[in-house]
Structure 1
Amino acid sequence: MEFRKEELTVKAYPTRQEMGIKAAKDVAACIHNLLQEKDEINMIFAAAPSQNEFLEALIADTTIEWNRINAFHMDEYIGLKEDAPQGFGNFLKEKLFARVPFKSMTYINGQADVADEECNRYSALLKKYPVDIVCLGIGENGHIAFNDPHVADFNDPVLVKVVSLDNKCRMQQVHDGCFKDLSEVPEQAFTLTIPALTSAPHMYCIVPATTKAQAVYNTINGAITEECPASILRKKNGAVLYLDADSASLLKLKEKVFA
């Protein structure tokens, strides 16, 4: 099933696997189109188990010219050990960055000694390499990147900042199996801000699972407000939201038929 809510296109599929395959197909088509116009493009990727099926399908597409793509990641915990498997940069390295030949790969340094300097460094790179495509998810609290409701700002004046994570966001990491319990989850992180993400002409948001159903409902049917940061996607021309039957389960779809 496919429909629009304001500027946002929503596509729902029966299974998580099909959702990932369809999203990857659309992203690959966008890459091909952009590389007909530009020598290289810049992409930002989310790091989360919700992205697994999408990333696997994207890697399987042998037509993508990875050597013309500069890759970035969108958020990172502060204070984890450099080799911690929960680190978002490490996740992306394992799932994507080490598996295809990107032109370049740029990581946020979660072990940086001076947080403000790291924010400035990464912000300068984002200005030097303006983003073309963002591949993201939505958190259980409606966040995009680590812009939780209490720190989200649709008009944020900066591109990268340090944020405190709310407990719902931190518990999501436990639900996802990344940490054993809440006490292990870092309390702070670096994140790209909402304007940094929405500056991209193309945004592909992949959101499976029942645990995201309420956030999806709020994104589509609630007010456009920082209380549900993902709701800003409804004002973004070029944004597409991909759902599976579980994440779409609270939507009152007119027809129980999926795209």
Structure 2
Amino acid sequence: MVADSVAEAGHMAGRHAARVLRDAVAARGTARVLFASAPSQEQLLEELRTADVPWAQVEAFHVDEYIGIDPQAPQAFGRWLATRLFDHVPVDARLIDPSADPSAEAARYADLLRVGPLDLACLGIGVNGHLAFNEPYHWLVDDTVAVREIVLDELSRQQQVDDDCFASLDEVPTSALTVTVPQLLSAATVVVTATGAHKAAAIAGALDPGVKASVPASALQMHDDATLYLDPAAASTPATAEAGSR
């Protein structure tokens, strides 16, 4: 779905997410949701902060976290989500601990995710087509592990600098824990928000028919209830987007 602006794309996605959470609580008494942490999610989270959602019945997770970062650092994804949503609503937020042993933490978080069904995943798409931190060629469509330790692609790390999260590439951590693609797509509904001309090539790759190892986001094609919310720049062809960004 192509919105008129970046803000409208995010708010539309937020309204969609709120409906899913309300419906899950109405049907089952609880809801479980995964959140991505990225600038593309700002308006979605803003919408959710004031939405009519029974947050006390919602259990929230995040999709990835840097290994070794201070949990209170503003770049830590759990902290980023807390400042934008978790600190403002009475949600049960289950965060990845970046200071823990990575193998043990991956296993702990996988166990938490698998306690029950996931109703919703709110995701973005990276400039290299990553989904969470599942990097090109380093993900499995049939992965049996729910959370993995991964080495970050340099493009993913550079994106963090370009998004003004870090001052230089040297400051960006080189590894992270990520929820794997099959676990992400186990959510009953997937709401994806991607904006900006710099995402156009990744969006085109994700939508080009066929699941491709080079574009993890192409796995979204396998989901029966996945909706993409884009602004015009992200929805344009890569050549058009490149010209428009000059």
Common fold by TM > 0.5 = yes
What is the CA distance between 1:222 and its match in structure 2? 5.3
What is the CA distance between 1:129 and its match in structure 2? 3.1
Structure 2 residue 66 is matched with structure 1 residue 77: yes
**3-state SS, counterpart of residue 30 of structure 1:** helix
Structure with the largest fraction of helix:
2
Distance 1:196 1:229 in 2: 13
**Aligned residue for 1:6?**
none
What is the CA distance between 1:130 and its match in structure 2? 2.5
Instruction: Give deviations 1:65-106, integer Å, cap 9, x for gaps.
Output: 11110011110001112321100001001011101111x110
**Aligned residue for 1:95?**
84
| Structure 1: 5+ residue stretches without partners | 1-10, 253-259
Aligned pair partner of 1:191 in 178, 202, 207: 178
Does the C-alpha gap of structure 1 residues 222 and 168 become closer, same or farther in structure 2, counting only changes over 3 Å? farther
Aligned pair partner of 1:233 in 213, 220, 239: 220
Q: Let me know the Cα RMSD of the aligned residues.
A: 1.3
What is the CA distance between 1:223 and its match in structure 2? 3.6
Instruction: Give deviations 1:199-220, integer Å, cap 9, x for gaps.
Output: 1110000111111111001111
**Aligned residue for 1:111?**
99
What is the CA distance between 1:251 and its match in structure 2? 7.3
Structure 2 residue 229 is matched with structure 1 residue 242: yes
Distance 2:121 2:237 in 1: 26
Give structure 1 regions of 4+ aligned residues with deviation exceeding 6 angstroms. Answer: none
What is the CA distance between 1:247 and its match in structure 2? 0.6
Per the normalisation by structure 1, the TM-score is 0.89
Is the 2:133–2:176 contact (alpha carbons within 8 Å) kept by the matching residues of 1? yes
Distance 1:131 1:226 in 2: 25
Structure 2 residue 204 is matched with structure 1 residue 204: no
Aligned pair partner of 1:16 in 3, 6, 22: 6
User: RCO higher in 1 or 2 (8 Å CA, sep ≥ 6)?
Assistant: 1
Aligned residues: percent identity? 38
Per the normalisation by structure 2, the TM-score is 0.94
Distance 2:32 2:58 in 1: 6
Instruction: Give deviations 1:31-71, integer Å, cap 9, x for gaps.
Output: 2222221110100101111100111012121x211111001
Distance 1:173 1:57 in 2: 24
Instruction: Give deviations 1:111-138, integer Å, cap 9, x for gaps.
Output: 11x2111111111111113211000100
Aligned pair partner of 1:175 in 162, 172, 180: 162
Counterpart mapping for 1:4-153 below 5 A: 11-61=1-51, 63-102=52-91, 104-112=92-100, 114-153=101-140
